[in-house]
Amino acid sequence: MGNKIEHPSVELPPEKLVMVTGGNTGIGYETAKSIAEMGARVCITCRSEDKAKAAIERMQEEHKNQMQKRSHAENAAAQASSQPTSEEIKPLNVEYIKVDLASLQSTMDFIQETKERMQYLNVLVCNAGIGFAKQAYTEDNYESHFQVNYLSHLLIVLHLMPLLQTGAPDSRIVLLSSAAHKGGKLDLDNMQGRKSYSRIGAYGSSKAYMIMAAHFLSRRLEETGVSTFSVDPGIVDTDIVNNYSDWKLLSFFGGASKKMGMMRTPKKGAATSVVACVDPSLRGKTAVFMKSCRPANPANFCRDGKKQEDLWGYSLGCLNQFISDDVLKEAFPSARPELLTIPKDTRTVEEKIADDSGKKEGSSGDKEMGDKSKGGEASLERKQDEEQPEIESSSGATEVPSEKVKASQEPYGANLEEKIPEDTLKDEDNEPKASSK
């Protein structure tokens, strides 16, 4: 593929089943559409049923228009050579399931519906997310980037792993990362940003965790026929830049990138995800980080095995209300027992949160960009988004919630005392909710 940012044209069987979270706009939309156009069955997720339906309708219309143009050209050529004209245009096989990744209970409901509707899964693309949001906490009391971009996706992966194994061989898990992962870190003493907070750091860390997850998952997936990939889509022209006019540096960078041709369209941004999903040359590879449609190397700390296992242990602690030993054994049937141990911690939920926050819950300091917000209103947006790469083979892959905020029309409550107004929210799909202000 050289230096071109494009995915291969692959004909996929109609029974191939691909799920794309956040598939209603941006990179997720283009990923879902491209794979559906190759012939596969695609299921997108979205927080809003109306937006999911609108996205599918748009997909069908764009596909129809594209195929009609192609058909006209083919028919003209066929008539000139007395050949049969092209067949009737078939609609794309696309469906949706609703999920709000800012709620672990909503995520579990989504998992249950998926299991009821699907007997297998060939590819899971963990694409949905938010980017550079002000400090805010979900109803589960987790920092918003951490839960929406990473933790809820991990919960989905763990519970849907049996479906992926049924769809094997060559089932794939594709985890969306970002170049911003280089600005992230694994700080077990401040995972939820309660001691100090930076939008860029929170976003970058959540994207670094996706890369690290590709490694700790592959370590447990030997001999299952399921491979893992993490993807950097590049600098993509999405609302992440357009909606942050108050971030002068980011806005300037985005505008300059557009003028210089550095910023990719969502379609080009999706190309690397599509390659990870369908490229036959990647069969049997796992724990692969991809950038510009080819394998690359992420930041060194993401490749640190100890840090990967530290993240795994911490994440299991966060999800201990939603997973069990049986879930892990079913997800990783060939893994060594010591790799499936759920950390035992006798502290209460409140004690864990207090330890993480230094007994100063709610304290923050958005030190980046001069923002001194301490929770307040959260504008949650989706960020969609060369050394010799290290690639493992699939056969030899070398805080916890405090008292839950009651469900309401304000799913991104910062905490019980200070909730986030509904009109400030951004969907996972980047589209701002209507404001009454």
Using the 8-state DSSP alphabet, how is residue 170 labeled?
S
In a domain, 18, yes or no: no
In a domain, 23, yes or no: no
Site of tokens 């724990």: 287
Cβ neighbour number for residue 410 with a 10 Å cutoff: 16
- Percent share of the chain, pLDDT over 90: 63
CATH classification at residue 308: 3.40.50.720
Average pLDDT over residues 20-47: 98
Q: What are the tens digits of pLDDT across the range 194-225?
A: 999 999 999 999 999 999 999 999 999 999 99
In a domain, 94, yes or no: no
CA distances for 62 relative to 67, 237, 273, angstroms:
9, 20, 20
In a domain, 17, yes or no: no
CA distances for 325 relative to 106, 193, 330, 338, angstroms:
22, 29, 9, 12
Cβ neighbour number for residue 259 with a 10 Å cutoff: 9
35 pLDDT exceeds 50? yes
Cα–Cα distance for residue pair 290/177, rounded to 1 Å: 9
Q: What is the pTM of this model?
A: 0.79
Q: Please, what is the angle between helix 49-80 and helix 26-37, to 10°?
A: 40
C-alpha triplet 294, 296, 301: angle, nearest 5°: 150
Read off the pLDDT band of 83 (50, 70, 90): low
Pick the more confident residue, 52 or 76: 52
In a domain, 327, yes or no: yes
What was the pLDDT predicted at 425? 33
Cβ neighbour number for residue 432 with a 10 Å cutoff: 15
What is the DSSP annotation of 224-275?
TTEEEEEEE--SB-SHHHHT-TT-HHHHHHHHHHHHTT-SBPHHHHHHHHHH
Cβ neighbour number for residue 71 with a 10 Å cutoff: 16
Cα–Cα distance for residue pair 129/145, rounded to 1 Å: 7
The total number of structural domains that make up the chain = 1
Cα–Cα distance for residue pair 216/159, rounded to 1 Å: 16
In a domain, 402, yes or no: yes
Cα–Cα distance for residue pair 181/291, rounded to 1 Å: 13
Q: What are the tens digits of pLDDT across the range 175-199?
A: 999 999 999 999 999 999 999 999 9
Cis bond leading into 233, ω under 30°? Answer: no
380 pLDDT exceeds 90? no
In a domain, 30, yes or no: no
Which among 155, 119, 102 has a CA at the least distance from the CA of 43? 119
In a domain, 40, yes or no: no
Domain that holds residue 127: 101-424
Cα–Cα distance for residue pair 290/304, rounded to 1 Å: 17
